[in-house]
Amino acid sequence: MTGNPMRPLYVHVGMQSFVEASGGLFIAGFLVAQGFSHALALAAFAGTLLARFGLRGLVLPLARRAGLRSVVIAGVVVRCLSFLLLPLVAGAGPALVAFILVTGLGSVLYWTGWHSLASALADSERGGRQVSIQQATTAVVGIVAPLAGGLLLDRAGPMVGFGVIAVIQLAAVLPLLAMPNPGIAADAALDRPTTARARRLYLSEGFHSGCAVVIWNLALFVTLGQHFDAFGGAIAVAGVAAAAGSLLIGILIDGGRPLHSLALAYGAAIVALLVKAVAFDMPLAAIVATAIGALVTPMAATAMLSPLYDMARRSACTLRFNMATEGGWDLGCSAACLAAAALLELGAGFRVPILCGVVAVAAIWRMLFTWYARAGATT
């Protein structure tokens, strides 16, 4: 294999980001449009995460036999099937169970394999910049993809809309074929303190993402009248803000000033949650709040993923490390969704579940501050 392995990686990130922003973001809203209550839609989404958590043990045998890249490719293919199943879900029945299980399988193969592959290919010296480029790619795609997905679902219907998204998902395999296929050692022992630290980080970030992204997106969809095109347009407008701020944090981290990045990223994350909690039921204000949240997302992701990827590279096996830690994200996000579902059933509305994310943000900041401080970072 010759050339820079990061180039096809960035191409794949762009294609995968298109799939997530044009299809994945619409799942909870689609279930509501199908007649699900808000609480049941969130519970179903939590079910896909819990299925992913339960199926994670399947990743290691496949990776040992076929390599990390093969795991990612298998995940892409299974995710195609999940998008094809989604339009068939009309209520709490067998189709929903099938969708939850297939989505969980595809998601665990893809994301566990992907983070392991990205960790193995990146380097510590430019890790922040490389992660920030991935986040910038995601942000730029996020300007176009939500609008395209919303219009497609609104005008062509779910069968055609999710079918097109499944085809794009399958095409995301092509750049993967130009990337290395790292193997997995037969045995490897992980450092327990580092693994536990990463697991707590993922747990907190999962809870934050549940409040700031999953629950918020459903609240926004409802506020905008449950119209896919309006929802997609709002996310597309927010994508401009995300693209504008996505590179700054990676430069600060690689330039030896990661503590500045933490103050900026997670201070902004708290502000975004507060604004969302106030604005969720006012359409124009909700769009502005979405833009603020979109600006924060790549900043916080870069600040967190850079040390997590570094921890993975330092471990005896990036795949085993990610298998042992990423389950924390599933549990955190599913806990946020299930708690929100319970609160909604009790009549609490969306404001309280959104505000719960502030606690997770504070926990993430504390853990990352300790990590960077121990690494001898300057402010």
Cα–Cα distance measured from residue 46 to residue 302, given in angstroms and rounded to the nearest whole number: 25
Poorest-confidence range of 177-191, 239-253, 281-295? 239-253
CB crowding 44-62: b at 16 or more within 10 Å, else e = bbbbbbbbbbebbeebbeb
Residue type, 310: D
User: Minimal CA–CA distance to 117: which of 69, 171, 164, 48?
Assistant: 69
Which one has a higher pLDDT value, 265 or 332?
332
Which one has a higher pLDDT value, 3 or 275?
275
Pair 132, 297: CB distance under 8 Å: no
Mean pLDDT on 60-85: 94
Cα–Cα distance measured from residue 91 to residue 2, given in angstroms and rounded to the nearest whole number: 50
The answer, yes or no, to whether residue 337 has pLDDT greater than 80, is yes
Pair 269, 301: CB distance under 8 Å: no
Residue 37: phi and psi, rounded to 5, are -70, 165
Pair 184, 69: CB distance under 8 Å: no
pLDDT at 264: 79
Burial of residue 4 (CB within 10 Å: 0-12, 13-18, 19+) is exposed
Q: How confident is the model at residue 120 (pLDDT cuts 50, 70, 90)?
A: confident
**Portion of the chain with pLDDT greater than 70, in percent:** 88
User: Minimal CA–CA distance to 244: which of 116, 140, 340, 319?
Assistant: 140
Cα–Cα distance measured from residue 350 to residue 327, given in angstroms and rounded to the nearest whole number: 26
User: Minimal CA–CA distance to 73: which of 161, 145, 171?
Assistant: 171
Q: How confident is the model at residue 7 (pLDDT cuts 50, 70, 90)?
A: confident
Residue type, 15: M
Mean pLDDT on 31-43: 95
Mean pLDDT on 131-139: 66
Mean pLDDT on 86-106: 95
pTM: predicted TM-score of the whole model, two decimal places: 0.87
pLDDT, tens only, 201-237: 999 999 999 999 999 999 999 999 999 999 999 888 8
Pair 110, 98: CB distance under 8 Å: no
pLDDT, tens only, 227-278: 999 999 988 888 777 766 655 555 555 555 667 777 778 888 999 999 999 9
The answer, yes or no, to whether residue 2 has pLDDT greater than 60, is no
Q: How confident is the model at residue 10 (pLDDT cuts 50, 70, 90)?
A: confident
pLDDT at 166: 96
Pair 212, 268: CB distance under 8 Å: no
Pair 134, 242: CB distance under 8 Å: no
Other CB atoms within a 10 A radius of the CB of residue 314 amount to 13
Cα–Cα distance measured from residue 343 to residue 41, given in angstroms and rounded to the nearest whole number: 13
Cα–Cα distance measured from residue 269 to residue 296, given in angstroms and rounded to the nearest whole number: 6
Q: How confident is the model at residue 31 (pLDDT cuts 50, 70, 90)?
A: very high
pLDDT at 174: 94
Q: Which residues contact 351 (CB under 8 A, 6 or more apart)?
A: 277, 280
- Taken in order 192, 194, 196, 202, the sign of the CA dihedral is negative
pLDDT at 124: 47
Q: How confident is the model at residue 188 (pLDDT cuts 50, 70, 90)?
A: confident
Mean pLDDT across the chain, nearest whole number? 86
Domains along the sequence of the chain with CATH: 6-374 (1.20.1250.20)
Cα–Cα distance measured from residue 16 to residue 204, given in angstroms and rounded to the nearest whole number: 24
Mean pLDDT on 132-153: 80
The answer, yes or no, to whether residue 131 has pLDDT greater than 70, is no
pLDDT at 133: 65
pLDDT at 122: 63
Cα–Cα distance measured from residue 92 to residue 218, given in angstroms and rounded to the nearest whole number: 18
Mean pLDDT on 277-299: 87
